[in-house]
Amino acid sequence: MQKKAYLLLADGLLIEGKAIGKMGTSGGEICFNTGMTGYQEIYTDPSYFGQIIVNTTAHIGNYGAYDADQESVRPTIAGLVVNEFSAEYSRKSATESLQSYLERHGVVGITGVDTRKLVRYIRSKGAMNAIISSELTPEELAKEIIKVPAMDGLELSTRVTTDEPYLVGDPASPIKVAILDLGIKKSIASNLASRGCYCKVFPARTAFEEMDAWQPDGYFISNGPGDPSAMGYAVETVQKALDSDKPLFGICLGHQLLARASGISTYKMHHGHRGLNHPVKNLITGRGEMTSQNHGFAVDEKEIEKSNEVDVTHVHLNDATIMGIQLKNKRAFSVQYHPEASPGPHDSRYLFDQFITLIREGVRQTVVA
């Protein structure tokens, strides 16, 4: 018989269901992802560190787990909430069930939840802390949830970054890109390597001088978890990278840090954007893009309007939040969404090509000089 589990939200909403994954207790900020597929890629995205994920699609676990689908070495989510959970799977390439996978990696979860109703609740009330348990009573959970730290003001990149620098790509490639790993997804580095970049991935707190000593042709600032306002160390690194006058590309958290390095503030969103179906308009080309997104913070729209250094390049068509920027006097740009799109549509992968073009132009100029 499946064990009972509880989900308690910080505002007091208590939901009863059945335990999945590891038996235990886990807390974090509750948020929802609207993607219809790619659950393993979502769970292993380091940007979700410290968050409990509600999957809006009804059936989870039906195609099992497969190591090649991972975006990092292990799941990074704090917990999982689903409607219907399948311990059986049909995909022949899968190596184990999702239950076995979650249990092996210590992920606590709950099933039997009306996730559509819960998502509407979060959309109304906003993102908040929550706790899942298959071992504590509701009364005990009420005491434990107050111990869960708020996401606002929380620095988390140092919890998920690489311990040591590592290399990706062909050493014989003519283009070298230094990556600041704030919680990078595997597919991002793969997209750069497949376009002819030799990449060195550096830990989050690496001094710019150490990155610069590798003599890269460009800098990439990765995605990651937490509040960008708590990352002064990374803002300083981005500012120094901009001063080097080499091309710079930022994604998600990297986008927010580029804005802060340019004097633009960020703020915590009501419930964030997380899913594979977010419509974005490219203001330069006029074209629309369906995008993969995962963020709970955004760049301040009003401050950008007053800036003499930053232009808006992309906007979200649902709520007009800033989805992309470029600097007027630097070869630097960023987007709030995930162009590597793993999982998700590939509409925005041209951004990697744009970055490579900026680097190649600089390389040619150097050779000519």
Question: Catalytic: which of 29, 41, 289, 340?
Answer: 340
Classified as helix, coil or strand, 182 is: coil
**Torsion sign, CA atoms 203, 251, 102, 134:** positive
Classify burial at 91, counting beta carbons within 10 Å of its beta carbon; exposed 0-12, middle 13-18, buried 19 or more: exposed
338 is catalytic: yes
Longest dimension (CA), the chain: 73
Among this protein's residues, is 96 annotated catalytic? no
Whether the CB-CB separation of 159 and 28 falls below 8 Å is answered with no
Beta strands in 108-226 (DSSP E): 108-111, 128-133, 166-168, 175-180, 197-202, 218-221
Q: Which letter does DSSP use for residue 338 in this model?
A: B
What is the spatial distance between Cα 168 and Cα 189, in angstroms, rounded to a whole number?
7
> Pick from 266, 253, 235, 242: which is nearest to 337 by CA?
253
Of residues 50, 39, 11, 22, the one with CA closest to residue 133? 22
Residue with tokens 């000089």: 369
- Active-site position among 71, 199, 252, 316: 252
Q: Which of 278, 295, 314, 338 is catalytic?
A: 338
Looking at the annotation, which residues are catalytic?
A: 252, 338, 340
